[in-house]
Amino acid sequence: MKFFKLIWLVAAFQIACVSQFVVAEPGKLSVNGSATLFVEPDFVTLNFYVSREATQAVAANQQVSEVMSQLITIARQQDIAEVDLKTSGISISENRRSRNDNCSAPGIQAQQTLRVVLRDLELVEELIDEMVEAGALIKGGAQPGVDDLEEYSKQALQLAIDNARDQAGVAAEQLGLSVGEAIEVSFSSRGSRRRGTFSTSNMPSAASPVTYLPGLIPISQSVSVTFESSVDQ
């Protein structure tokens, strides 16, 4: 359990509007609670792709394969494990030029994607620069992630339940009730992944090196809890 990665806790106290978030029925008190953990990413997933065009499919395929081979070599030089490298098959398509193009012959476009899971976040900028210089583009930005998502989700859920119980206590005091045991709980999770950003563009070129800004990953839980309640005598 990596508690040292817990950066910030947000507990959303919604008791400000009792009529909206607290429901009092005979013998019952229902409240909502929520909590969000902001944690540092353990890894970043980057999707690089290579696209080349030629008049013949064989030539386009060969060009893509040559660049992809360079990308894999670069990744291995950064000690990225084989399990963290995954290539797609090469897709071949006909790329017809517009009618305004003087060349009416269609081109054949080949494209392939390389997914890299990078666990040393200090190497993100260097890896992107080297990949782009070798002829790759970035597809879809960066996707930070955590290894212990399930554990963090459990922590957030417990905090959300605690938040709901605190709200129930405040509501009960205002309504002249006593709170008993929880008799029903429902919950939902959200915001478990956030894309990283770049200081230049998500489609950098070799002439524009990037600075990676991964940010924190929010892991949230929301609960609705119904407690037994009774009227204070």
In a domain, 201, yes or no: no
Which two structure tokens, joined as six digits, stand for 192?
């478990």
The whole-number pLDDT of residue 14 equals 33
Residues, the chain:
233
- Residue 200 to residue 178: CA distance in whole angstroms: 57
Residues 66 and 132 in one domain: yes
Task: Give burial (CB, 10 Å; 0-12/13-18/19+) of 215.
Answer: middle
User: 143 pairs with which residues across the strands?
Assistant: 45
Residues 183 and 128 in one domain: no
| C-alpha to C-alpha distances, 46 to 69, 142, 171, 193, nearest whole angstrom | 17, 5, 47, 14
Last residue of a domain, one of 105, 121, 145: 145
**97 pLDDT above the threshold of 80:** no
The whole domain housing 189 covers 3-40+148-193+217-231
In a domain, 205, yes or no: no
The whole-number pLDDT of residue 188 equals 78
- Residue 148 to residue 42: CA distance in whole angstroms: 9
Structure confidence by residue, pLDDT tens digits, 133-170: 999 998 877 888 999 889 999 999 999 999 999 999 99
Q: Give the single-character DSSP code of 233.
A: -
Percent of the chain with pLDDT over 70: 73
Residues 119 and 141 in one domain: yes
Domain count, the chain: 2
Which two structure tokens, joined as six digits, stand for 76?
């291995």
Percent of the chain with pLDDT over 90: 45
**22 pLDDT above the threshold of 70:** no
- Higher local confidence (pLDDT), 210 or 177: 177
Structure confidence by residue, pLDDT tens digits, 38-77: 988 999 999 999 999 999 999 999 999 999 999 999 999 9
Q: Is 107 helix (H, G, I), strand (E, B) or coil?
A: strand
Q: For position 174, which CATH number holds?
A: 3.30.110.170
For tokens 């417990």, what's the residue?
A: 158
- Residue 152 to residue 145: CA distance in whole angstroms: 12
Task: Give burial (CB, 10 Å; 0-12/13-18/19+) of 219.
Answer: buried
Residues 141 and 152 in one domain: no
The whole-number pLDDT of residue 214 equals 59
Residues 136 and 62 in one domain: yes
The whole-number pLDDT of residue 185 equals 87
In a domain, 175, yes or no: yes
- The whole-number average pLDDT for the span 27-32 is 90
pTM: 0.68
